[in-house]
Structure 1
Amino acid sequence: MNDLDTCLRCTRDLRDHELGRYLCGSCEDQTATRLAAIPGLFAQLDQHLARGSSNGPAVSGSKTAPAPLNLSVLNLQTERGPVLGPLETWVRDWEFSGYAEVDEAGSVTDRLAHACRTLRFNLGRATGRHPAVDEFAEEVASIHRTLVRTVTGEKPARHVNVTCHCGQPLRITLDVRAVTCPGCGAEYGHSDVLRLPLAERRAAA
């Protein structure tokens, strides 16, 4: 049970009916929506396997023959890659807590569908009981962003450097949801961190 009165992910104040939960209703809904979308995005990766179909065109002029497949996309589709691997790790973690059940039978696509389905089904209970559910929500968001950018060709969010009130520089993206200053521990939500002053660039030595 969350002893704080704020969401651990977006740091928004919890409403009366959300008190005791680790995530607010909005963050829970966003995570559920991403879990529902991940299998469909994963299925579209096959269309981007050809080298040059995503992440830019193949580079010419190399002395060695280019790989026939886009290895970064192929890695996303592997059993222990950055999509299925983390999600099944969370299923095992939730199984230990009594929230889910691991199923490693079938293809990678079948296993991914099961992982997303069982995590989504048990998300409500985990939101109220699992103290690391905010880390889970962030990992799901990261996986979803990676798949969307691979499938659509969307460029990564732009990074900027801002300065905390204590003087600590913070490197953030424009779509950041929340950040904690490593210098003083101050916590900023999305709108608050975007109001911080830009960090001054250091002069070249």
Structure 2
Amino acid sequence: MNNLPTCLRCTYELRDDETGRQLCFRCEDRAAQNLAAIPGPRGLYAQLAQHLQRGSSSGGPAVSGSKAAPAPLRLDVLNLQSAGGPVLGPLEGWVRVWEEAGHADLNEAGSLQQRVDHACRTLRYNLRWAAEAGPAVDEFVHELEVVERTLRGTTGGEKPPRRIVVTCPCEQPLRVTLDTRGLTCPRCRTEYGHSEVLRLPLAERRAAA
């Protein structure tokens, strides 16, 4: 059995210059890129404003050629923009976790855009510490990937990866996508790599519900 240290996220073996780290440099760099893509006036979060009205998913601002009432707003985009939604909620949640460890500062003042910018900035500034010794850093990277992928899918017209449910030999249903790099079964703690988890049998409908 291979007992060499591995990256908590991608499960690849750590190289000699990565000894003692929790994340490999590649996963840390990917997290930094995601944190850089979200904030700012041209970032993915700001781009949501261009997709509020139904029919405005082309990327440009919605334009009305008549005095008729504007199209209904997209509730999914409004949810992404909200304070407790699936973007700012997780970002500030991790700032709180890191703040308790003495490596971040939460700031809930200002507009929602300013709060997103601050959260991404402080998380990116402290990312090296998290990659080396931060709490639950694999969960952080996973949630950050979900946030970035959701924003990019909404603003760029890309559909999020289709989720399927497979079954571990211990009969635990596992939700995965074609992008899943690996996971650990929460019941039996068996670790699966990317190809291994995709070879598991599909779950029956009632097990997947």
Name the TM-score class by shorter chain: 0.7 to 0.9
Match of 1:192 in 2: 196
| Percent of residue pairs identical | 62
Aligned length in residues: 190
1:120 deviation in Å? Answer: 0.4
Deviates more, 1:173-182 or 1:155-164: 155-164
Residue 28 (structure 2) pairs with residue 48 (structure 1): no
Rate the CA distance shift 1:109–1:168 in 2: closer, same or farther, 3 A.
Answer: closer
Match of 1:116 in 2: 120
TM-score by length of 2: 0.80
Cα distance in structure 2, aligned partners of 1:92 and 1:119: 10
For the aligned residue pairs, the C-alpha RMSD in angstroms reads 2.6
1:157 counterpart SS class: coil
Rate the CA distance shift 1:4–1:82 in 2: closer, same or farther, 3 A.
Answer: farther
Please give the residue correspondences for 1:58-73 in structure 2 after superposition, counting only pairs within 5 Å: 68-73=72-77
CA displacement, residues 8-65 of structure 1 (integer Å, 9 cap, x when unaligned): 11111111221221111111111110000012001110110002434xxxxxxxxxx9
1:179 counterpart SS class: strand
1:167 deviation in Å? Answer: 6.5
Tell me if structure 1 keeps the 8 A contact 2:22–2:131: yes
Cα distance in structure 2, aligned partners of 1:34 and 1:48: 20
Q: Which amino acid aligns with 1:118?
A: T
Cα distance in structure 1, aligned partners of 2:93 and 2:106: 9
2:13 counterpart SS class: coil
Q: Which of 79, 85, 95 does residue 75 from structure 1 map onto?
A: 79
Deviates more, 1:115-124 or 1:18-27: 18-27
Match of 1:62 in 2: none
Tell me if structure 2 keeps the 8 A contact 1:22–1:131: no
1:163 deviation in Å? Answer: 5.0
Tell me if structure 2 keeps the 8 A contact 1:12–1:189: no
Unpaired segments ≥5 residues, structure 1: 55-64
Match of 2:5 in 1: 5
Match of 1:16 in 2: 16
Residue 151 (structure 2) pairs with residue 147 (structure 1): yes
Rate the CA distance shift 1:165–1:19 in 2: closer, same or farther, 3 A.
Answer: farther
Deviates more, 1:122-131 or 1:66-75: 66-75
Cα distance in structure 1, aligned partners of 2:94 and 2:187: 30
Rate the CA distance shift 1:51–1:87 in 2: closer, same or farther, 3 A.
Answer: same
Rate the CA distance shift 1:111–1:192 in 2: closer, same or farther, 3 A.
Answer: same
Query: Which has the bigger relative contact order, CA under 8 A and spacing at least 6?
Result: 1
1:159 deviation in Å? Answer: 3.1
TM-score by length of 1: 0.81
CA displacement, residues 86-126 of structure 1 (integer Å, 9 cap, x when unaligned): 11121122112111112222211111111101100110011
Rate the CA distance shift 1:68–1:33 in 2: closer, same or farther, 3 A.
Answer: same
Match of 1:136 in 2: 140
Please give the residue correspondences for 1:30-45 in structure 2 after superposition, counting only pairs within 5 Å: 30-39=30-39, 40-45=43-48
Cα distance in structure 2, aligned partners of 1:6 and 1:77: 36
